[in-house]
């Protein structure tokens, strides 16, 4: 088996055959160079190094070559995980090897738990996090009823009074968070507080939860900074990218900035090895999680024309957005507003939006995954 080369004196091996012995001024190696570096840093050793041995080697690598440090976290996590995965891959064909067989018997193999199902057999959402008991002062069911009736009357107006709406939503906020924490369905909450069925209302609720003002403006500014690299990383990885490039060639120059931004939003999941249709789709979403459904008939018109989008969650239509960006941002906010955990098939993209673009951190957040850190290293 194999392991990273360590320093001869301190760790038993030497970092001599790295192909990336370059100046720190040179840009970070790409995926192919990373894999080649790992292969070249391998020598014969035991099949199951300890975690501390992995860490020592990863630390030695970034100490010797500082430009290889991760942009986030402890600086060596991606190399640490790459080593462990490389060892796992090397052990895969050795199922008859005595050491490998004994370790498999010792630790066993367990299937991942499936998503819970409701009484009708359909998949349900899981909660974002278990909240502490929320105390509500100065309000009871009677007063909340009065506030919600005010909200419903304002919602029916062509031009609601923003001051009245803000006042009622603020007074009912703690009560609403208590209801969400107790597991009240998203459609019940949205119908009771109807301004949660608007993109602006969801963004304002997000501000109440995490004190984020001008959320849409912040998202746009931060995403524009990485947009060229997002499009570059998505190049050649999806048929949608080809459709976008063809549509771009046929468009006027003044339409290109808006088209590029829209394409970046659509293609973002691809660079995290997630499916676009789990986030943005032309078809009816087959999931209870917040999903943006475009009203266009095909992807070419979706890239070239501005049109409304529909955000659906938990089996019902939450609201209609005027354009894609508005729908995507509001759909993201819905996870927090209705206390939904990110599903595994969307987790990397949504975590990146939360932690890296909007700079939102919550108590109990886990460290960024290796996949997210690798993309982060290439984007910033």
Domain span holding position 168:
141-197
Helices (H) and strands (E) in the chain, counts: 17, 6
Picking from 13-22, 54-63, 74-83, which range would have the lowest pLDDT averaged per residue? Answer: 13-22
What six digits make up the tokens of 99? 């050491």
Say yes or no to pLDDT of 84 above 90. Answer: no
**Is residue 369 domain-shared with residue 239, that is, in the same domain?**
yes
pLDDT given at position 240: 94
Say yes or no to pLDDT of 54 above 90. Answer: no
Instruction: Provide the whole-model pTM.
Output: 0.71
**Is residue 175 domain-shared with residue 232, that is, in the same domain?**
no
**Is residue 178 domain-shared with residue 257, that is, in the same domain?**
no
**Is residue 145 domain-shared with residue 281, that is, in the same domain?**
no
Burial 285-313 (b: 16+ CB within 10 A, else e): bebbbbbbbbebeebeebbbeeeebbbbb
Out of 92, 107, 133, a domain closes at 92
Out of 77, 92, 107, a domain closes at 92
Residues 240, 221: Cα–Cα separation, whole Å: 24
More confident position, 51 or 147: 147
- List pLDDT tens digits, range 159-216: 999 999 999 999 999 999 999 999 899 999 999 999 999 999 999 999 999 998 889 9
- List pLDDT tens digits, range 248-282: 999 999 999 999 999 999 999 999 999 999 999 99
pLDDT given at position 46: 54
**Is residue 178 domain-shared with residue 34, that is, in the same domain?**
no
Does residue 1 fall inside a structural domain? no
**Is residue 247 domain-shared with residue 311, that is, in the same domain?**
yes
User: What is the domain count for the chain?
Assistant: 3
* Mean pLDDT (the chain, rounded): 81
Does residue 121 fall inside a structural domain? no
Would you say 325 and 301 are in contact if contact means Cβ atoms under 8 Å apart? no
DSSP characters over 249-318? HTS-GGGHHHHHHHHHHHHHHHHTT--GGGTEESSPP-SSS-EEEE--SSHHHHHHS---EEEEETTEEE
Q: What is the mean pLDDT of residues 288-304?
A: 92
**Is residue 56 domain-shared with residue 182, that is, in the same domain?**
no
pLDDT given at position 340: 93
Does residue 203 fall inside a structural domain? no
Does residue 110 fall inside a structural domain? no
Does residue 173 fall inside a structural domain? yes
Does residue 221 fall inside a structural domain? no
pLDDT given at position 77: 78
**Is residue 252 domain-shared with residue 375, that is, in the same domain?**
yes
**Is residue 271 domain-shared with residue 166, that is, in the same domain?**
no
- List pLDDT tens digits, range 113-139: 444 444 444 445 666 665 555 667 778
Q: What is the mean pLDDT of residues 279-305?
A: 91
Q: What is the mean pLDDT of residues 99-105?
A: 61
Does residue 214 fall inside a structural domain? no
**Is residue 184 domain-shared with residue 323, that is, in the same domain?**
no
Say yes or no to pLDDT of 7 above 50. Answer: no
Does residue 317 fall inside a structural domain? yes
pLDDT given at position 79: 75
pLDDT given at position 74: 77
Residue 329 neighbours by CB under 8 Å, 6+ apart: 199, 203, 215, 216, 219
**Is residue 373 domain-shared with residue 319, that is, in the same domain?**
yes
**Is residue 148 domain-shared with residue 72, that is, in the same domain?**
no
pLDDT given at position 37: 53
């Amino acid at each position: 088996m194999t392991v990273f080369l360590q320093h001869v004196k301190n760790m038993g091996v030497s970092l001599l055959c790295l192909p990336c012995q370059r100046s720190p001024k040179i840009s970070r190696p790409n995926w192919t160079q990373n894999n080649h570096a790992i292969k070249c840093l391998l020598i014969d050793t035991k099949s199951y190094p300890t975690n501390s041995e992995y860490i020592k080697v990863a630390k030695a690598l970034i100490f010797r070559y500082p430009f290889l440090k991760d942009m986030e976290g402890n600086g060596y996590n991606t190399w640490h995980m790459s080593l462990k995965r490389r060892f796992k891959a090397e052990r895969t064909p050795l199922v008859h090897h005595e050491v490998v067989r004994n370790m498999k018997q010792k630790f066993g193999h367990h299937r991942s738990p499936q998503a819970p199902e409701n009484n009708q057999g359909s998949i349900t959402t899981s909660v974002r996090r278990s909240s502490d008991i929320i105390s509500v002062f100065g309000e009871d069911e009677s007063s909340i009823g009065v506030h919600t009736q005010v909200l419903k009357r304002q919602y029916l107006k062509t031009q609601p009074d923003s001051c009245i709406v803000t006042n009622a939503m603020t007074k009912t906020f703690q009560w609403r968070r208590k209801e969400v924490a107790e597991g009240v369905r998203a459609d019940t909450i949205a119908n009771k507080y109807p301004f949660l069925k608007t993109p602006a209302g969801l963004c304002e609720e997000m501000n109440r939860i995490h004190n984020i003002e001008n959320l849409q403006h912040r998202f746009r500014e931060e995403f524009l900074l990485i947009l060229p690299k997002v499009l570059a990383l998505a190049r050649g990885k999806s048929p949608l990218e080809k459709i976008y490039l063809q549509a771009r060639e046929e468009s006027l120059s003044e339409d290109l900035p808006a088209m590029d931004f829209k394409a970046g939003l659509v293609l973002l999941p691809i660079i995290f090895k997630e499916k676009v249709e789990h986030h943005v789709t032309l078809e009816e979403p087959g999931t209870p999680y917040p999903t943006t459904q475009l009203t266009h008939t095909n992807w070419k018109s979706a890239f070239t024309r501005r049109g409304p989008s529909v955000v659906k969650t938990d089996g019902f239509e939450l609201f209609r957005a005027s354009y894609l960006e508005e729908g995507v941002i509001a759909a993201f906010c819905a996870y927090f507003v209705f206390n939904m955990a990110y599903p595994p098939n969307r987790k990397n993209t949504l975590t990146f939006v939360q932690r890296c673009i909007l700079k939102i951190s919550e108590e109990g957040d886990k460290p960024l995954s290796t996949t997210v850190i690798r993309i982060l290293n290439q984007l910033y």
